[in-house]
Amino acid sequence: MTPLPPGRAPHRWKHRWGPRWTHRWTGPGVALLLALGLVVVTVSVVLGGPTVGLDDAVVSATPGRGNGPVVPDVLTLLVVDIATPALCVAAVAAVTAALCLHRSRWAPLALSGPALALLTGTVLLGKSVIPRAGPVVREMPSDLGYYPSGHTATALVCAGLVAEIVSRKWPGRRRQAWAAAAAWTLLVAGSLLWLHFHWLSDVVGSMLLGSLLLWLLLRWPLRLGPRVAPPAAPGASSDAGPRADSRVGPQTRHGDPSAGR
């Protein structure tokens, strides 16, 4: 075991909150649970299972467009308009293009392109195969059904892509970026339910689908590039830097998962 530098206490929290703990929330078991949940919700929607009762309960508890207070009605409509799939895709394309030009790397484009293509294909496939009407319009207005929710899935995947790209450029903002992506997705989902634009199961199925797609796509072989090393902690001794930089071999590689990529 390598001795610690003088004056430095062991960080016990790193063992608990380090890569092993994070792997529990991002490992293959999580993907399996997401896929299982998506299958359960989809089968329940197709066969008219328990989700039908939950859908009706949520519709009864929310006012719907034009039936509630004016301010929430206007705000939720604004959120839904901003979360239009075309606008979300355009925003991701703009961020990706700007980052590619700035860093002269095409890895972000190699991630965003397949992500958006796979998202569009799976959502359209579900809507074309599952003939489901919406809460307000009880008859199918076209060949495309309401399950899964395209607004919710697009908001989740696009916000997740932007969060990952931003966190690669500013590693210290990673937690805030992903928290903002989650908050935006929940806001879009809540607005759709408030306005009766979608059933609850449409939104839940889209969240499961979008999360599964993100899990798969963020493990794409083409990386976004190594993270920038965080700045040294204030008060650290001046001789700690060269001593740490001079270390090579397995210890350095195990300490930084992105080293050497």
* Residue 171 pLDDT: 85
- Please write the tens of the pLDDT for every residue from 54-70: 999 999 999 888 787 89
| Residue pLDDT, tens place only, 164-202 | 888 877 888 889 999 999 999 999 999 999 999 999 999
Mean pLDDT, rounded, of the chain: 76
Model's pTM, two decimal places?
0.71
Could you list the beta-strand ranges (E) of the chain. none
**pLDDT tops 80 at residue 85:** yes
Reported residue count of the chain is 261
Residue bearing tokens 């604004």: 78
pLDDT, tens digit, 9 for 90 and up, residues 140-172: 556 788 999 999 999 999 999 888 888 877 888
Distance (Å) of CA 98 to CA 102, 169, 240: 6, 12, 36
The answer to whether the CB of 126 falls within 8 A of the CB of 105 is no
Q: What is the 3-state secondary structure (H, E, C) of 84-109?
A: CHHHHHHHHHHHHHHHHHHHCCCHHH
Spatial separation of the C-alpha atoms in residues 163 and 110, rounded to whole Å = 16
Q: Return the pLDDT at 57.
A: 92
Closest by Cα among 31, 6, 15, 11 to 208:
31
**Phi, psi torsion values for 259, nearest 5 degrees:** -65, 135
Check residue 203 and give its pLDDT. 96
